[in-house]
Structure 1
């Protein structure tokens, strides 16, 4: 579509059919809703599950490294950590070597909640994977990682 676009309904349909951002946003909301519903009995949202998973590392990661991993600014990360911290699932500690750095610690209670959420994630993820041909799922994940 090399001609100049105008704000007609045909242009709207073109954007709907071709815009990667629009498609990714729709898919992300649908996926998040699906995981939110499945994880709600455990008391987690899909975002909280992702955050707890990202903290499940041999050594407590820094706030900056988790913000980068989740492609999230530090203010948003702090807001997302607050309910997990209030539930005792996460602790924020000052790094002993560099007092400017904050380390994010997955507590034993956080590990327990994450452990109980994993079977739910496996089940829902399996349902989603079955909707895609096997090679398409791998290709989609590789493409999404390239974009992030």
Structure 2
């Protein structure tokens, strides 16, 4: 077995200070904590709020379309849906056009909770946008979308 190459500590500092992936992950975690804290009194996490909001459509979406929108695989989406189903916030049904496919629907309880959660999200979101140093949230969103 060959001896591994040593990486200088200066390289560690360079990565710490310049790695876009690290900075985006740190920002995402900080934002998630902020929204989790704000939504906690309603019994929701930021991920659950996003999932419920993704179901707020005129027609029930498929698992695949929701997974794609939320950038998660179907297995992760299925796991995320389970507690929302148990709480009676979401219904998962077979698609009449294709019995292998599942459709996701907000229940009345889910819609009620979502309408209570939206003002909390809106206030928190406005606070976050005010904290952006450049004051241009549209630019940040556009830059982040360019990476997808």
By how many angstroms is 1:6 displaced?
5.6
Change (3 A) 1:7 1:69: same
| Structure 1 gap segments, 5+ residues each | none
Within 1, Cα distance between the matches of 2:74 and 2:127? 33
RMSD: 1.2
Q: Is 1:131 matched up with 2:131?
A: yes
Alignment of 1:53-132 (within 5 A): 53-132=53-132
Question: What do the CA deviations read for 1:81-136 (whole angstroms, capped 9, x no partner)?
Answer: 0000000000000000111110000111001110000110011101100011332x
Query: What residue in structure 2 maps to residue 146 of structure 1?
Result: 146
TM-score by length of 2: 0.93
By how many angstroms is 1:8 displaced?
2.0
Structure 1 counterpart SS, 2:98: coil
Change (3 A) 1:19 1:6: farther
Structure 2 counterpart SS, 1:71: coil
Structure 2 counterpart SS, 1:61: coil
Q: Between Structure 1 and Structure 2, how many residues are aligned?
A: 143
Question: What do the CA deviations read for 1:64-84 (whole angstroms, capped 9, x no partner)?
Answer: 001111110100000000000
Structure 1 counterpart SS, 2:100: coil
By how many angstroms is 1:30 displaced?
0.3
| Structure 2 gap segments, 5+ residues each | none
Structure 1 counterpart SS, 2:99: coil
Within 1, Cα distance between the matches of 2:77 and 2:22? 24
Within 2, Cα distance between the matches of 1:108 and 1:8? 58
